[in-house]
Amino acid sequence: MIIDARTVNFLKKFSTENVYFASSFHDVYFKWDIKERKYYQKFRGMEETPVQKGSDLLMEAILDRNEITEEEYESGSNLVSRDRIWH
């Protein structure tokens, strides 16, 4: 597997800061909380909940690298736009 610079930069953030990202195919958004060292998920229209260990949706979203802002995560707005995913 070839890992490009975008992937390396995205993964480095997990060791230094909160990271917000979205699934490209599901209406679910994720947050890595650096202080708590936990993942949280937020489905559209629902409250934030901790991610269950071994979540396929989480792994898929990490591989997608569809990073979003904290504001986008908190607002729960429509985060999945094809323009954001494919560049």
* Coil, strand or helix at 60: helix
Residue 78 in any domain: the answer is no
**Which pair of structure tokens corresponds to residue 10?**
């995205």
Residue 47 in any domain: the answer is yes
Name every residue whose Cβ is closer than 8 Å to that of residue 38 and which is 6 or more positions away in sequence.
Answer: 32, 50, 51
Residue 70: the pLDDT is 95
Domain residues for the domain of 31 are 5-68
Residue 79 in any domain: the answer is no
pLDDT of residue 6 exceeding 90, the answer is: no
Say how many domains are in the chain. Answer: 1
* Digit-coded pLDDT (tens) for 16-68: 999 999 998 888 999 999 999 999 999 977 899 999 988 999 999 998 899 99
Residue 78: the pLDDT is 59
- pTM of the shown model: 0.81
Residue 76 in any domain: the answer is no
